[in-house]
Amino acid sequence: QTIYLKDYAPSPYLIERVELDVRFEESETRVRALLTILPNRDTEPGTPLVLDGDELTLDTIAIDGLPLVLSAYAATPDALTLMEPPHRRFVLETEVRLTPETNTRLMGLYRSNGVWCTQCEPEGFRRITYFLDRPDILSTYKVTMTADRALAPILLSNGNPSGGGDAGDGRHYAVWEDPFPKPAYLFALVAGDLAAIHDSFTTASGRKVALAIYCEHGKQEQCAYAMDALKRSMAWDERRFGLEYDLDVFNIVAVSDFNFGAMENKGLNIFNDKLVFARPETATDVDYAGIESVIAHEYFHNWTGNRITCRDWFQLCLKEGLTVYRDQEFTMDERSRPVARIEDVRKLRATQFPEDGGPLAHPARPDNYREINNFYTATVYEKGAEIVRMLATLLGEAGFRKGMDLYFERHDGDATTIEAFIAVFAEASGRDLSQFEQWYLQAGTPDLEVGETWDEATRRYSLSFRQRTRPTPGQPEKAPMVIPVRFGLVGPNGSDMGWSGVSGGRVESDLIVLEDGETTITFEGVASRPVPSLLRGFSAPVNLTSSLGQAEKLFLARHDADPFNRWQALQDVAMKLIIDAVDGAALSTADADAFTDALVETLGAEGLDDAFKAHALTLPAETDIARIIGKSVDPDAIHAARQSLIAAISERAGHALGEAYDARSADTPYSPGAAEAGRRALRNTVLGLLVRGGAPGAAARATTQYHEAGNMTDRLAALSSAVAAWTGDAQALLEDFRTHHTADPLVYDKWLAANAIAPHGGTLERLRAILADPDFPRNNPNRLRALVGSFANANPTQFGRADGAGFRFVTDFVADVDRRNPNVAARVLTAFRVWRTYEPGRREAAERALRGLAEAGGLSRNTADILARTLDTA
């Protein structure tokens, strides 16, 4: 059954206040709810009230204290209907009984490691009590929790603590009050035997906030970095957006079984523990950066998501796109702006672009869905952030801030829409943003082609742009988009050139704003032929193709004032060399020399940080190459072509690379800061090139680094390069890691992923053996994703095996896990979104695996929806 945005109507009833009484027992939990309900304006007397449920059983029901007669209501596991509710404010009292112990879906109330916890977004609250479970129902909550004191000394919910005490029989209780009206998806509670670290933060206006991070006993020291990131996030939101925290406490809880990354429940963020725990011996630099950014993301939701929430789930991007933009900006301010931008764009291209170009493409604001859980996508999150970034680019920093200020002023306390969000920016800037709004409405990545002409006699230089967006499911015709192109005209000496006049389009200093399908912009008074540097900082999420040759790209790689485009130029050059090789052209000595020279020059350049250099030395990923090739993809050919370029580089630059490696081998104590992390990233990228390029002694160097590493970043990098190159030591290193480093479950995940990404014919057998082990934790999302998610998304040659065994392995896994956890199963299945781009043999094999899954039947709504859209049978 499909839900359409056009059918949105306000709820006939509102719920003003929620009082929950939750009693935890060893094997069941009772939830008594007192809901203060009133008819909405315009609701006719006698309109039935239908509350949502999901696998609920009703024990008792009363209105204003009087039990209801059987004919007055109907209760099923997924709905509670009051035939003729009072036409006034009334209190509905219900009681249900839950078994969180058997809740393997990890939605609603469940138990992780003995700890009771919740995940309600988007529709989990209805698994806890009958409710109007939609985000435009805002209520204040009072929550009373009662549990055995020994089993659950810690009792947490949203808002501020407001009492508690002894409940007799070894039990105790706690009361929490949240004064801010909120939708049910932001509800949370946690009860268990947890340790904690405590800190505090004083807001700009002097509110002293008690901060705590709760975790499993013994893991407290591993929460210190997350706490530091939280305090920096709180300070940043005050500085950058004038936004302060609004409760007396802010709690974070780390749990080990969690379907997603983390959740922004009001005053009580719940986190997947892999995004909290960090110490040098077990977490990599990438893990530290991920923790910092997700801690910030969830904290920033307090304003963009909680104080201002979504009217309906079609508006998900209102809170997610904007909050990702905010966490990206935080990372840029805390670390290096260009490096963060490169990382964000790499992620966008790796996750969102393939989604936008395949059968699962959808607008950032979809207009229909069958299962909302399937719309927590790279499009809603990452493309959503790009849309906000374009808005900031078009309006300028001050104009954007003015719009944000107006957004908070106008909509604080609202459940609102993307339309309303755009409207405040239009109002604050006086601009017409109606065409810009298409970015939310139209799916697909625009292709932007550019050509240039230069006339020496008239000193006229023109750029001609043509944009086109290919059809996506349900959207055969596409309108032209507003595309902000930040640019410079780079002169022969490497600096940006000026011009004396412009015609043919909108040019605002270093920004070209495209609005039409075709635009030609002419610059007057251009002294010599420039090399155009376009889309600086990746100012719009489009696929740019230009007529620039390899030599001009290499010129930009050396001279562009925009570091992002220096990186992009090197990527483009590598991409062309690899694709030519896939097409059968041998890599010429001249091309290999020219490219290697540019890399070596970048490696030695002054004024570029190591983290930037590490990205510059990283060739486009095999999946990215496949995306650019776009059809008849043969992952083995791509792997071989990329591999031969790596070999050519390592052969030519072995000496310089070796020196760069040695120069960064300083044995300073580990610190997770950006500069130190950059140093390690460059050193490990160099190691990877040398090992994969088969440089003499490189495999031994990896083995040595593996054994001598003082931190997980260096150890895992050494292991990964050995595995990626499948050196003689790879197998032994995997065994060693298994034996010595996997007592910690989060490190065990790294071992699982290392096995999963080996580009080696024996990989599938290893994975089957790991999964078949009766001790394998088959219900933990992190373990499952580390093993099978990594295989499907990061091992293109083995997932895409010509014999189809990789595809079948994944569909068999999906069928099995789907019975226990539909969210995990459906997410893994999205790896098939590229299936139609394979060459015919693999395409048929993938289709056979998918059809087999469909024919077996019995799938959850989540998985059935992804499958139907992937096969285009929806």
Nearer to ligand ARG, 182 or 692 (CB): 182
Considering only residues 206 to 225 of the shown chain, the ones binding ligand ARG according to CB under 6 A are none
Cβ-contact 254, 219 below 8 angstroms: yes
Cβ-contact 244, 204 below 8 angstroms: yes
Integer-rounded Cα radius of gyration of the chain: 28
User: Quick one: what does residue 263 bind among ligand ARG, Zn ion, none, with the CB cut-off 5 to 8 Å set by partner type?
Assistant: ligand ARG
Nearer to ligand ARG, 375 or 487 (CB): 375
Q: In the complex, what is the shortest distance from the CB of residue 836 to ligand ARG, in angstroms, rounded to a whole number?
A: 25
| Cis ω for the linkage preceding 135 (within 30 of 0) | no
Closest CA relative to residue 716, chosen from 358, 314, 418, 284: 284
Task: Tell me how far apart the terminal alpha carbons of the chain are, to the nearest angstrom.
Answer: 11
Q: In the complex, what is the shortest distance from the CB of residue 381 to Zn ion, in angstroms, rounded to a whole number?
A: 7
Q: In the complex, what is the shortest distance from the CB of residue 301 to Zn ion, in angstroms, rounded to a whole number?
A: 6
Q: In the complex, what is the shortest distance from the CB of residue 572 to ligand ARG, in angstroms, rounded to a whole number?
A: 33
SS3 298: helix
Nearer to ligand ARG, 272 or 727 (CB): 272
Candidates 235-243, 260-268, 446-454, 768-776; binding stretch for ligand ARG (CB under 6 A): 260-268
Candidates 227-235, 262-270, 559-567, 758-766; binding stretch for ligand ARG (CB under 6 A): 262-270
Nearer to ligand ARG, 262 or 717 (CB): 262
Nearer to Zn ion, 301 or 679 (CB): 301
Nearer to ligand ARG, 183 or 658 (CB): 183
User: Quick one: what does residue 373 bind among Zn ion, ligand ARG, none, with the CB cut-off 5 to 8 Å set by partner type?
Assistant: ligand ARG
DSSP annotation of 490: E
Nearer to ligand ARG, 52 or 264 (CB): 264
Nearer to Zn ion, 37 or 186 (CB): 186
User: Quick one: what does residue 572 bind among Zn ion, ligand ARG, none, with the CB cut-off 5 to 8 Å set by partner type?
Assistant: none
Name all contacts of 380-383 with Cβ < 8 Å and 24+ positions apart: 380/316, 380/317, 380/320, 380/321, 381/320, 381/321, 381/324, 382/324, 382/344, 382/347, 382/348, 382/351, 382/352, 383/321, 383/348, 383/352, 383/356, 383/541
User: What CA–CA distance (Å, rounded) separates 541 from 518?
Assistant: 18
Q: In the complex, what is the shortest distance from the CB of residue 5 to ligand ARG, in angstroms, rounded to a whole number?
A: 18
Q: In the complex, what is the shortest distance from the CB of residue 261 to Zn ion, in angstroms, rounded to a whole number?
A: 8
Name the H helices within 609-744: 610-616, 622-629, 635-663, 674-692, 698-708, 712-725, 730-741
User: Quick one: what does residue 557 bind among ligand ARG, Zn ion, none, with the CB cut-off 5 to 8 Å set by partner type?
Assistant: none
DSSP annotation of 476: -
Closest CA relative to residue 128, chosen from 24, 219, 227, 282: 24
Binding mask 288-327 vs Zn ion (x if CB under 5 A, - otherwise)?
Answer: --------------------------------x--x----
Name all contacts of 590-596 with Cβ < 8 Å and 24+ positions apart: 591/550, 592/645, 592/648, 592/649, 592/652, 593/652, 594/550, 594/551, 594/554, 595/554, 595/570, 595/645, 595/649, 596/648, 596/649, 596/652, 596/653
Q: In the complex, what is the shortest distance from the CB of residue 364 to ligand ARG, in angstroms, rounded to a whole number?
A: 14
Count Cβ atoms below 10 Å from residue 189 Cβ, excluding itself: 25
Is-catalytic flag, 298?
Answer: yes
Closest CA relative to residue 613, chosen from 538, 684, 682, 686: 682
Q: In the complex, what is the shortest distance from the CB of residue 256 to ligand ARG, in angstroms, rounded to a whole number?
A: 17
- According to DSSP, the β-strands at 249-255 and 208-215 are parallel
Cβ-contact 722, 733 below 8 angstroms: yes
| Residue 14 φ/ψ, nearest 5 degrees | -115, 155
Identify the helix (H) or strand (E) that includes residue 23: strand 13-24
**Which residues, 6+ apart, have CB-to-CB distance to 463 below 8 Å?**
450, 451, 452, 512, 520, 521, 523, 532, 534
Q: In the complex, what is the shortest distance from the CB of residue 351 to Zn ion, in angstroms, rounded to a whole number?
A: 15
SS3 441: helix
User: Quick one: what does residue 260 bind among ligand ARG, Zn ion, none, with the CB cut-off 5 to 8 Å set by partner type?
Assistant: ligand ARG
Nearer to Zn ion, 275 or 619 (CB): 275
Number of residues that bind ligand ARG (CB under 6 A): 12
Token look-up 């095999």 returns 622
Q: In the complex, what is the shortest distance from the CB of residue 401 to ligand ARG, in angstroms, rounded to a whole number?
A: 23
Nearer to Zn ion, 253 or 645 (CB): 253
Candidates 4-12, 258-266, 504-512, 724-732; binding stretch for ligand ARG (CB under 6 A): 258-266
Asked if 260 touches ligand ARG (CB under 6 A), the answer is yes
Sign of the alpha-carbon dihedral angle for 233, 239, 244, 249: positive
SS3 155: strand
Binding mask 370-409 vs ligand ARG (x if CB under 6 A, - otherwise)?
Answer: ---x--x---------------------------------
User: Quick one: what does residue 473 bind among Zn ion, ligand ARG, none, with the CB cut-off 5 to 8 Å set by partner type?
Assistant: none
* 145 strand-pairing partners: 22, 174
Residue type, 19: E
Q: In the complex, what is the shortest distance from the CB of residue 556 to ligand ARG, in angstroms, rounded to a whole number?
A: 36
Both tokens of 719, joined, read: 């292991």
Nearer to Zn ion, 133 or 320 (CB): 320
User: Quick one: what does residue 329 bind among ligand ARG, Zn ion, none, with the CB cut-off 5 to 8 Å set by partner type?
Assistant: none
Nearer to Zn ion, 320 or 344 (CB): 320
User: What CA–CA distance (Å, rounded) separates 216 from 190?
Assistant: 13
Residue type, 864: A
Q: Which residue is nearest to ligand ARG (CB)?
A: 376
- According to DSSP, the β-strands at 309-310 and 415-416 are parallel
Q: In the complex, what is the shortest distance from the CB of residue 806 to ligand ARG, in angstroms, rounded to a whole number?
A: 26
Candidates 255-263, 615-623, 705-713, 773-781; binding stretch for ligand ARG (CB under 6 A): 255-263
Both tokens of 509, joined, read: 């200093």
Count Cβ atoms below 10 Å from residue 241 Cβ, excluding itself: 17
* β-sheet with 506-508: strand ranges across: 506-508, 511-514, 483-490, 531-534
Identify the helix (H) or strand (E) that includes residue 595: helix 589-604
User: Quick one: what does residue 136 bind among Zn ion, ligand ARG, none, with the CB cut-off 5 to 8 Å set by partner type?
Assistant: none
Closest CA relative to residue 489, chosen from 519, 457, 459, 446: 459
User: Quick one: what does residue 454 bind among Zn ion, ligand ARG, none, with the CB cut-off 5 to 8 Å set by partner type?
Assistant: none
Both tokens of 274, joined, read: 């892999």
Candidates 257-265, 330-338, 547-555, 698-706; binding stretch for ligand ARG (CB under 6 A): 257-265
Nearer to ligand ARG, 376 or 555 (CB): 376
Q: In the complex, what is the shortest distance from the CB of residue 319 to Zn ion, in angstroms, rounded to a whole number?
A: 7
Considering only residues 280 to 339 of the shown chain, the ones binding ligand ARG according to CB under 6 A are 297-298, 320
Considering only residues 677 to 696 of the shown chain, the ones binding ligand ARG according to CB under 6 A are none
Count Cβ atoms below 10 Å from residue 477 Cβ, excluding itself: 7
From the list 93, 216, 264, 298, the catalytic residue is 298
User: What CA–CA distance (Å, rounded) separates 541 from 344?
Assistant: 11
Of 96, 252, 263, 754, the one binding ligand ARG by CB under 6 A: 263
Q: Which residues are marked as active site?
A: 298
Q: For binding to Zn ion (CB under 5 A), which residues are involved?
A: 320, 323
Q: For binding to ligand ARG (CB under 6 A), which residues are involved?
A: 121-122, 260-264, 297-298, 320, 373, 376
